Amino acid sequence: MKRLPEHNLPEPEPYPPEGHLREAQLREAQIREALARTARPGALKRRGVASLLRRDSGRKPAMATQDVGEKGGRRAAVDRSRYGARSGSIGLVLAIAFMLVGAATGLVLIGRTQAEPYILGLLALLAMVGVFALFALASGILRVTSEDSANPVIKGVVDGAFDGIVVTDPGGRVVYANAAYLDLVDAADANDVRPIERVFIGEPDVSEAIYRLLKAAREGRRLQEEVRVVGLKGEPPRWLRLRVHPLAEGKRDTRHAVWSIADVTREREKQENIFQELQYAIDYLDHAPAGFFSVDAAGKIVYLNATLAGWLDHDLAQVGSGGLKLADIVPGEGAALLTTFAAAPGEVKTQTLDLDLKTRGGRTVPVRLFHKVAFGADGAPGASRTLVLNRARGDGTDPQRAAEVRFMRFFQNTPMAIATVNKNGRIARSNALFARMFQGALSGEGEDGTILSVVHPRDRGGLESAIRQAADGRVDISPVEAALAGQGERWVHFYVAAIEEEEERDAEAAIVYALETTERRTLENQFAQSQKMQAVGQLAGGIAHDFNNVLSAIMMATDFLLSAHKPTDPSFSDIMQIKQNANRAASLVRQLLAFSRRQTLRPQVLDLGEALSDLSMLLRRLIGEQVGLDVVHGRDLWPVKVDISQFEQVVVNLAVNARDAMPNGGKLKVRTANVTEAECAKFQYKGMPAADYVLVEVADTGTGIPAEIRDKIFEPFFSTKEVGKGTGLGLSTVYGIVKQTGGFVYVDSEAGKGTAFRIFLPRHVPGEEEAEPVPPIPAPAIAGALAAADEVVRAAAADLTGRGTILLVEDEEGLRALNARGLKSRGYEVLVAGNGVEAIEVLEECGGKVDLVVSDVVMPEMDGPTLLKELRVRHPDLKFIFVSGYAEDAFEKHLPEGGQFAFLAKPFTLKQLVAAVKETMSS
C-alpha cells in the first residue's frame, strides 16, 4: 500500500472564523451545543494512526486502457467521455479512395453501354449515403469534432483544480477524473482510477456518508458530507469534504454524477482551535468571582454563569431550555426595572441597579447589577448583558455598604411607587413598583416618555403644576389625584416634593410618590351608591306606606259608593273612574315597594326554563312584530326560589325597555344558563360573591345606554323617555325584586350596539324538610292574575257574609271607620281600637270573646307584632290577620318563632278584606 507524499495533497485556504466568533459571543448556550457536536473523540486528543486512503488493488475493471503520462511530475487527467479526444485513420480514407478509383476503371473497361446501369446504381448509393449523413449530422448522431474541439479554458480549470473532481456514469464507472483526484486516490494508471465508494472501503464511518451521497446522486439531489479518515502510521487523522451533484446536460447525462473531494483538515483544526479558545473563555466566565446572566425581551434567562447559579442555588441545566425566567431570580416588582428600558433604535444603554435577587429556597441576596441592553434598528431590545456583584459578602466592618443595602431594600420594596423627575416630568430614577405601574413612561411611549403621558389628559394640568412648583423649590405642595390614561379606570394619588439641593434640580427637580387608589375609589363609589339607593328606598318605602293607607280608604269608599249606585246611575261612571285611578296609583306604590325591597313576596321553587316558555307568548305581544324574539334555554337548569309573578314582572319590564330602545325593529334574546362558582370570575362583576347561580340574560340590539347615565338607570323616577311615556320605575322595580330575591343584576351596554341585562339568581338547594319543587302555573302569572282573581271573587261573591266578633286595630281613623263599616255590612260584629294598648283593653272588657283580630303593623304606642305577642300569651288560639303597606318579611323577624298569622297587603278592596276574614275564620 502506498500514498503520495504529503506535499502533493492540496492545502485549502484558511477559513475565516469571524462569523463564528460573533455568534459564540451572542449565544453562549449554542456554542456549548456546537462544541459537544463538533468535538469528536480524538479531535482534541491524539488517537492511533492508520492509513489516510486505502486502495483496492484487486479491482480490475473492464475498460479501455489509456496510458497516464507524467507531465512535469504531475499526472494527466483521465477522460473517457464521448467528449474526449477522438483519433482518425488515414489508411481507411486511402482504402475508400482506391475502391472508388478501381470501380471507375472497371466501368470504363466494360464499355459505356454496359456500364451505364452500374454507374447509375453507384451514384444512387452514394447519394443515399450522403442524405443519411446529413440527417445524422442534423440530429446529432454524427459530429464533426477534432481532438482540440473542447473549450481549452474550462478544461484547463477543471483539470488543474485543487479539489479532486470525478464524474461517474449511471453504472458507477468513472468517465472523467482530474489530476487532483488521481493524486488523492494515488492512482497508478488509467485502469487504477476508482469511484469514491471504492476508495473508502474499510472505513465504517465514511461508508455511512458515502451511502447518503450515493442515494442523493440517484435521486438527483445535491449533498455535502465531511468525513474523518485515519492517517498512516505516525500521521494524524485527515478531514475530507465530499460533494455530489447530478450532471443534467442532456437526456443521456441526467444520471451522471459529479463528485468532488477536498482536504479540509487545516480548516477543521482552525475551527476547533477557535472553539477551544471560546471554551476556555466560557470556563473563565463561569467561574469568575462575579455573577453574570443574560435575559431576552420575553423575560427568559438564556445564560447564567456558574458563580451566580451557585449564589442562587439554581441548576444550570434549566438555563436556555425555557425553564428559568427572570421572575424566578428577581423577587417582587424588581423584574420591571430590567424590562422597562427606553432607548433610541441602535443605541446601547447601561444602567446600574441595586436590587435583591432570590435564591431557589426563597432567601434574598443583595446585589448591584450593571445591566446593559442593545437595541436593534427597529427599537426592539435584544438580550441583556448583566454583571452581578454580591453585596452580601463581607465581614460586617463596612457600615456604609450595610446602610446602602438597607436603603435599597426599603426603596425597592416599599408599597409606594417612587421616582425622581426633571422639571419637564421626564423620569430620572424610579423604584421597582413605579416601573411596573408606569411602564409606558419608562419605555419611552406617550409624550416623550414623561410621567405626564400616563395621566389622563383632563388631569395632567394638576400634576404638571405640582412638578413646576417643586422645581421652583416650593414646599407643602397639595396632593394630586388623577386618572390614568388607557383602557380601564385607574386612579392614582400623587405626592410631589422638591429636591433640597438646588444644584441637582436641573437633572432631578422633584420626587414623585404615587399611590394607586383605584380600589378605594371603587369601594367609595359603591358605598355612596348603596347609601343613595338605601336612602331613596327608605323614602320610597315610607311614602308607599302612607299612600297605601290613603288608597285603601279611597278604594274602600268607592266600593261603598258602587254598591249604593246602579250602573244606570249618571254618577256610576265617575265612581268607576275614581276606582280605576286608585288601582293605577296602587300599581305605582307596588313598584316603589319593589324598589325599596319592602313588598310581599311569595317565593316558590321552580324551573326558570318552564316559566319563560309560558311567558314567551305574552312577550311576543308586548314587543310587537318588528322585534324578533329568541328564547334560548340552558340545559338542566338548577332550581331557583323566586316569586313567579314578581319574576315575570322583571322579565316584562326588561322586554318593554328593550322594545322602546328598538324603534325601527331589532332582535330581543332571552337566554338562561347555569353559572358555576368557578365561572363567576370570568364575568368580573364587583359585589357578586363566587357561588352557583342561574343566569337570565335579556339582550337587545337597540340604541344602547350611554356610559354617563349607566350608573343612574336603577334609580327610581329616572327616565330618558319623553314626559308622559314612562314613570322611571321599570328598572328600579327590576333592581328591587332581584335584590329582595337574593340575586344580582348587572348591565353591559355600548351606545349604538345594544344592551344586555344579566340577572344572577342563587341556585336553590332543597333541604330534607322541603317538599318537591312546585311547578309554575300553566299561564303566565301577570297575564292570568286578573282572570284568576276574578274567578276567586266570583266564587266567593255567592256568600261573603259571616258571623263572629272581629277586633279591628287601625291607627288611621278614617280607614278604621270604613273597614269596620264594611265588615259590619257582611254580618260581623266589630270592635275597634286605635293601637295595641287600646286593643288589649278592649279585649279585656269583652272577656276575650273575640274570634279574629285584624291589625295594622305600624302603630303608635304598641305596634302589631308586639300586640300579637301579648295576645298569644293570654289567648294562644286567637286568629290574627296583619294588614300593612310594607312587605310581610319587613316585620316577620320581630314576631315570635312559629307565630301563625295571615297577611293582607294594602291597599285592598272591600271584597278582598271580607274574603280574607272569612277564609281565616274558617281555617
Sign of CA dihedral 574, 578, 583, 587: positive
| Helices and strands counted in the chain (H then E) | 26, 30
Cell of 34: 456546537
User: Nine-digit cell at 527?
Assistant: 358605598
Q: What is the pLDDT of residue 378?
A: 80
Amino acid letter at 478? S
pLDDT value for 693: 94
Distance of CA 611 to the CA centre of its chain: 37
DSSP state letter for 422: -
Cα 375 to the chain's mean position, in Å? 27
Give the H or E element holding residue 400: helix 399-413
Q: Read off the C-alpha cell for 441.
A: 413612561
Scan for cell 314613570, then name that residue: 727
Residue 907 preceded by cis peptide, ω within 30: yes
Place of cell 325591597: 597
SS3 478: coil
Angle ∠(156,160,161) on CA atoms, nearest 5: 115
Specify whether the backbone of 724 is left (phi greater than 0), alpha (psi in -120 to 50) or beta.
Answer: left
pLDDT digits (tens, 9 = 90+) for 240-285: 899 998 876 544 445 688 888 888 888 888 888 888 888 888 888 8
Closest CA to 797 of 902, 882, 908, 918: 918
pLDDT, position 852: 92
Give me the residues paired with residue 430 across strands: 419
Can you say how many angstroms the Cα of residue 275 is from the centroid of all Cα atoms in its chain? 43
Give the sign of the dihedral formed by CA 169, CA 173, CA 175, CA 177: positive
Q: Give the sign of the dihedral formed by CA 881, CA 882, CA 888, CA 890.
A: negative
Between the CA atoms of 635, 639, 644 and 646, what dihedral angle is there, to the nearest 10 degrees? -90
Low-confidence ranges of the chain (pLDDT < 70): 1-77, 79-89, 140, 142-151, 231-234, 248-255, 320-322, 341-342, 393-398, 440-449, 487-488, 502-506, 529-530, 532-545, 587-602, 716-730, 767-799, 886-899
- What is each CA distance from 663 to 231, 622, 626, 729, 757, in whole angstroms? 95, 13, 9, 21, 19
d(CA 509, CA 471): 5
pLDDT digits (tens, 9 = 90+) for 394-407: 656 667 777 777 77
Any residues with CB less than 8 A from the CB of 78 and at least 6 apart, and which? 66, 68, 174, 176, 177, 182, 190, 193
Q: Render 860-891 in DSSP notation, one character per residue.
A: SSS-HHHHHHHHHHH-TT-EEEEEESS-THHH
HSE, side-chain direction, 13 A CA sphere, residue 16: 3
Task: Report the first-to-last Cα separation within the chain, whole angstroms.
Answer: 127
What confidence score (pLDDT) does residue 808 get? 92
Residue with cell 299561564: 779
CA atoms of 694 and 606, how far apart (whole Å): 12
Contact call for residues 331 and 364 (beta carbons, < 8 A): yes
d(CA 854, CA 849): 15
Residues paired with residue 389 on neighbouring β-strands, in sequence order:
368
3-state SS of 326-391 is: HHHCCCCCHHHHHHCCCCCCCCEEEEEEEEEEECCCCCEEEEEEEEEEEECCCCCEEEEEEEEEEC
Give the pLDDT of residue 740: 79
Q: Please enumerate in sequence order all residues whose Cβ is within 8 A of that of 557, keeping only pairs 6 or more positions apart, or say none.
A: 818
| Among 309, 286, 283, 305, residue whose Cα is nearest residue 294 | 305
DSSP 8-state symbol, 426: B
Contact 575, 569 (CB under 8 A): no
Question: What pLDDT, on a 0 to 100 scale, did the predictor assign at position 13?
Answer: 40
Q: What are the grid coordinates assigned to 141, written together?
A: 448522431
The number of beta carbons lying within 10 Å of the beta carbon of residue 31 is: 20
Q: Identify the H or E element spanning 493.
A: strand 491-498
- The helix or strand, by DSSP H or E, that contains position 105, with its residue range, turns out to be helix 90-109
Whole-angstrom distance, CA of residue 655 vs CA of residue 464: 49
**Hey, what's the cell of 401?**
455598604
Instruction: Record the cell numbers describing residue 464, joined without a space.
Output: 404638571
Nearest alpha carbon to residue 868 among 885, 845, 890, 891: 891
Nearest CA-CA partner of 899 in 864, 921, 868: 868
Other CB atoms within 10 Å distance of the CB of residue 725: 8
> Which amino acid, residue 222?
R
750 three-class SS: strand
Q: 721 Cβ partners below 8 Å, 6+ apart? A: 660
In 176-314, alpha helices (H):
179-185, 196-199, 204-218, 265-286, 306-312
Give the type of residue at 325: K
Burial 485-497 (b: 16+ CB within 10 A, else e): beeeebbbbbbbb
**CB half-sphere exposure, 150, CA atoms < 13 A:** 16
For 371, half-sphere exposure in the C-beta direction (CA atoms, 13 angstrom radius) is: 21
Query: In DSSP terms, which residues pair with 880 in a beta bridge?
Result: 853
Q: Are the CB atoms for 705 and 751 separated by under 8 Å?
A: yes
- Amino acid of residue 193: V
- pLDDT value of position 442: 58
pLDDT at 66: 33
State residue 695's pLDDT score. Answer: 93
